[in-house]
Amino acid sequence: NNITKIRKLIKNYNIDVRHWKYQYRNYTEQDIINNAAKVKSLSALLKSLGLRVAGGNFNNMKRKLQHLNINTEHWTGQAWCKEEQLKDFSEYTSYKSIKPHIIKLRGHKCEKCNNTHWFKKKITLEIHHIDGNRTNNEENNLQLLCPNCHSQTKNWRNKANGIKVKINCQTFNSITSAAKEFNVSTSVIKRKLHSDDYPNYQYV
C-alpha cells in the first residue's frame, strides 16, 4: 500500500523526519525480537523502539509479540505476560482467528480421537467450547475436535441437552445471569424460554 511505499522511500533515501509531530518509527520484527530479550517490561520495549508509552502502542505491540510468539518469561511487573504467555485467546471474537494459534500450540490433530488425517488428507478441525459458551475463549475452554467428535459433544451447535428449564425472574435477574449459571451462551437460554415470558426480563 501507499504507507508501505512511503516507509521504504524514507528508509532508502535516509530522510530525516525528526521534525514530524508524529514521527515515523523505523523498526523491524527482528528489532522487536532483539529488544524484547533485553528489556523487562512492555513499557521498556516501547521506549527502546522509540514509541510513546500509550494505550494504542501497548495493544499493537502485544499483537506483534503474539504474532512473533516471543517468550517474555523474564519480564517483571506485568502479570499478563507471565500467566498468559501472550496467548490471551479471551480477547478473540472469532474462532477463525483462534484456530491457527491453537493448532500451532497443540498440533494438527483431534484432541479426542487423536486422528490427524482422513483419506490421506489433513483432518478438518473445529474449535469446541467446552462450556458451550462460544464467547468464552479462555484457552482452557477450547478444544480441537474433528467434525465427528464435535457432533458427539453435549452442547454441539448449542444443543445444550441438559438445559430444559423455564426461568423465572425470582431465580435469575437476567438472561446473562442464567447463561452464567448453566455455562452456556445467552442465545441458548433465550431458545429455552417460553415466548410469553420474555416481557418479564431485562437483558444486560
Whether residues 104 and 124 share a domain: the answer is yes
Whether residues 100 and 150 share a domain: the answer is yes
Is 66 domain-assigned? yes
Whether residues 46 and 116 share a domain: the answer is no
Is 58 domain-assigned? yes
Whether residues 79 and 100 share a domain: the answer is no
Is 48 domain-assigned? yes
Is 186 domain-assigned? no
Task: Print the domain residue range for 127.
Answer: 89-158
Give the max Cα distance, the chain. 71
Non-local (6+) Cβ contacts of 185 within 8 A are: 132, 133, 134, 135, 158, 179
Is 198 domain-assigned? no
Whether residues 12 and 74 share a domain: the answer is yes
Whether residues 7 and 33 share a domain: the answer is yes
pLDDT in tens, the chain (204 residues): 576 777 778 778 877 766 665 555 668 888 899 999 998 888 888 888 888 776 677 778 888 888 888 888 777 655 444 444 445 555 555 556 778 888 888 899 999 999 999 888 899 998 888 877 776 777 788 899 998 888 888 777 655 444 444 445 445 667 777 777 666 677 767 766 654 444 444 433
Alpha-carbon distance of 96 to 37, in angstroms, equals 30
Whether residues 96 and 66 share a domain: the answer is no
End of a domain among 28, 58, 83? Answer: 83
Number of domains in the chain: 2
